[in-house]
Amino acid sequence: MITTGMAEPDRSSAAIAVLGTGSYLPAQVVTNDEVGEPAGVDDAWIHGKTGIRYRRQAKPDEATSDLAVMAARAALESAGIRAADLSLIVVATSTPDSPQPPTACVVADELGVAPGTAAFDVNAVCSGFVFALTTAERILHGSDGGYALVIGADVYSRILNPADRRTAILFGDGAGAVVLGPSRGGAVLATRLASFGADRELIEVPAGGSRLPASAETLERGLHYFTMNGRGVRDFVAEHVPGAVREFLADAGTTAAELALFVPHQANGRMLENLAADLGVPADRTATTVEEFGNTGSASVPVTLDAAARSGALNPGDLVLLAGFGGGMAMGLALLRW
């Protein structure tokens, strides 16, 4: 488990903060009836189990980098930062454009950043954005200044089995981004990262890597599809996340009652209701986009943060908790001063 920030109670002179947010959701809206038919379920069943009504789907010619670039441009505009000012780009994704090169390098080229600007990917599945945020914040702290672009982007529609009701009904495509840089009043106060490899088989794409390369046989067996043990994931979240959040906040010298906004990974609306209730966070201080966009993987936390920021739900000085959890299994927490 990695924790940053808490051992340095006074970091204001060197604070790194979120300076701007952005997001991009593809134009095509997909209803519950559309995804439910091949999976053998209907709108009432899907909404009752998940709280989801719609999700977005990328066009055939849209890849993860295309969504990431759009979210990045929105975040840069929000922060008032030019792409040429960036010293670092980190893209969190588990659906890269291709195994190589890093999707972040594609994004960097499309944005027109200065030659030599560092760009790399992070794969911690649905926790990826918080892992990427933590990495970028630490790098900026150890450097001589500059700005970082942190993006969470996924196109899960390309790896779902339409007949698998455990997964096909949950996921949508999207991208969210933030710009990090020297504080203008806010700060990334603390982060905590943890992984639980013994539970890694709860969420996986079995084929397509070095252990089980793609072949006619793996395609025939559907091993290139995303798979998930839904009950196991729910049990994992219930067992690990509430206690970890309470401990994290206590170590940071605060409580859930002091949070202005809780921004969890949008895994499943019913799961989020249970998690917020367990933590004692009221519904009006729990940010959600799951009903409109579904589970967008590593994009869900930054997409939801951007929606909250643009709606006027956040004010300077507010305490904001980001919580990502998912495949790995992994969990990432970040406490922000807005």
Is 180:16 a contact under the CB 8 Å cutoff? yes
Is 152:160 a contact under the CB 8 Å cutoff? no
> Is there a catalytic annotation at residue 141?
no
What pLDDT shows up at residue 12? Answer: 45
> Is there a catalytic annotation at residue 224?
no
d(CA 62, CA 248): 38
How many whole angstroms from its chain centre is CA 212? Answer: 27
Which pair of tokens denotes residue 306?
């951007």
**Which candidate, 116, 136, 64, 127, places its Cα nearest to that of 264?**
127
d(CA 26, CA 172): 9
Out of 32, 105, 265, 268, which one is annotated catalytic? 265
SS3 content of the chain, % helix, strand, coil (to 5): 40, 25, 35
pLDDT tens for each residue of 204-228: 999 999 999 999 999 999 999 999 9
Which pair of tokens denotes residue 66?
């295309």
Domains of the chain: 12-184 (3.40.47.10), 190-337 (3.40.47.10)
* pTM score, whole prediction: 0.95
Task: With cut-offs at 50, 70 and 90, classify the pLDDT of residue 250.
Answer: very high
d(CA 119, CA 92): 11
Task: With cut-offs at 50, 70 and 90, classify the pLDDT of residue 9.
Answer: very low
Task: With cut-offs at 50, 70 and 90, classify the pLDDT of residue 6.
Answer: low
pLDDT at 11 over 60: no
**DSSP labels, 91-122:** EE-SS-SSSSS-HHHHHHHHHTPPTT-EEEEE
pLDDT tens for each residue of 278-317: 999 999 999 999 999 999 999 999 999 999 999 999 999 9
**Which candidate, 91, 89, 31, places its Cα nearest to that of 67?**
91
Out of 32, 123, 268, 295, which one is annotated catalytic? 295
Peptide bond into 331 cis (omega under 30): no
Out of 32, 105, 126, 268, which one is annotated catalytic? 126
d(CA 50, CA 214): 32
The three-class DSSP label of residue 150 is: strand
Q: State the number of CA atoms in the 13 A half-sphere of 67 facing the CB.
A: 37
**DSSP labels, 160-212:** --TT-TTTTTTB--EEEEEEEEE-SS-EEEEEEEEE-GGGGGGEE--SSSSSS
DSSP structure class, residue 295: B
**Which candidate, 80, 65, 60, places its Cα nearest to that of 24?**
65
> Is there a catalytic annotation at residue 265?
yes
pLDDT tens for each residue of 109-158: 999 999 999 999 999 999 999 999 999 999 998 887 799 999 999 999 99
**Which candidate, 194, 173, 201, places its Cα nearest to that of 333?**
194
